[in-house]
């Protein structure tokens, strides 16, 4: 037990993330596997096990088909691969909206079975009671407002928010309600830049932007977008830092050519009996 406590003490905590308000920007990326977590961990403050894994890993059209068991399996994998980053796991659609009690049961399972530092949930004023219920019972909450993928059917698609004064007031009220309910940080997704900047200036907790504003207290992106693992579409708010998808395809093509030409495996790749 002592070894486990010492190991966890090395990690960046949710209070430390909260204390970064107005300070050094928070660096965050998504991670879904142990190996990716190991690669990202030295460079990130927060690793988000997002329900975006439904589309990235499983090929779903949206995040709505993601289950609690999926989030737990991938959350545990990321925690095993990260030594210092604060690991946060998404509550998937249908696992928390029914009631604060349902949310607590789902979040408690995630934290107990993964060892993560907290959970993220989508929703603003309507979910403030739930966020307060969780935080009062020892579960750190990262809020997510603005463009909310789990509500894509209600919103009519993936659309930026804050385009009208009414929208701007709504997303601002949502962020404020979640911060007041005890969220240690608020993700602002797809929020018009001036609105996101204004929310960041008003909130007492850090904002983490994705398609929002450079004024946010931190930034998060889907790792597979950043590394160019998707070739068909790149969201406007993403900067590609590599084109690994092309490199993987090229490597697979070279491997296929070598196998078909019987150039692989070569003798050095085989177990050859030693001469006696």
Q: Does 51 belong to an annotated binding site?
A: yes
In whole angstroms, give the CA distance from residue 81 to residue 47: 11
Q: Does 120 belong to an annotated binding site?
A: yes
Mean pLDDT by 10 residues, the chain (276 residues): 51 98 98 98 98 95 96 98 98 98 98 98 98 98 94 65 94 98 98 98 98 98 93 77 95 98 96 87
pLDDT at residue 183, rounded to an integer:
98
* Annotation marks residue 189 as catalytic: yes
pTM of the model: 0.92
Q: Does 21 belong to an annotated binding site?
A: no
Q: Does 90 belong to an annotated binding site?
A: yes
pLDDT at residue 276, rounded to an integer:
77
pLDDT at residue 272, rounded to an integer:
92
The residues near 264 (Cβ < 8 Å, ≥ 6 apart) are 255, 258
Q: Which of 126, 189, 202, 246 is catalytic?
A: 189
**Domain 2-243 grouped into CATH 3.20.190.10:** no
């Amino acid at each position: 037990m002592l070894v486990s406590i010492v190991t966890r003490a090395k990690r960046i905590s949710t209070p430390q993330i909260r204390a970064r308000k107005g300070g050094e920007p928070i660096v965050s990326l998504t991670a879904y596997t142990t190996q990716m977590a190991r690669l990202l961990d030295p460079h990130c403050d927060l690793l988000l096990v997002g329900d975006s894994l439904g589309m990235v890993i499983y090929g779903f059209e949206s995040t709505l088909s993601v289950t609690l068991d999926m989030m737990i399996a991938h959350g545990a994998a990321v925690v095993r691969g990260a030594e210092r980053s604060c690991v946060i796991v998404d509550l998937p659609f249908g696992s928390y909206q029914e009631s604060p009690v349902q949310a607590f049961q789902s979040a408690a399972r995630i934290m107990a079975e993964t060892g993560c530092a907290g959970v993220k949930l989508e929703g603003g004023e309507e979910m403030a009671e739930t966020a307060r219920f969780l935080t009062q019972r020892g579960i750190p909450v990262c809020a997510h407002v603005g463009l909310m993928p789990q509500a894509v059917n209600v919103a009519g698609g993936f659309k930026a928010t804050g385009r009208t004064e009414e929208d701007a007031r709504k997303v601002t009220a949502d962020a404020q309600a979640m911060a007041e309910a005890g969220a240690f940080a608020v993700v602002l997704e797809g929020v018009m830049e001036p609105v996101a900047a204004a929310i960041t200036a008003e909130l007492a907790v850090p904002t983490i932007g994705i398609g929002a504003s450079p004024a946010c207290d931190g930034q998060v992106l889907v790792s597979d977008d950043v590394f160019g693992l998707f070739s068909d579409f790149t969201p406007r708010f993403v900067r590609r830092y590599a084109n690994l998808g092309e490199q993987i395809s090229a490597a697979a093509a070279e491997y296929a050519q070598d196998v078909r030409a019987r150039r692989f495996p070569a003798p050095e790749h085989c177990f050859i009996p030693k001469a006696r």
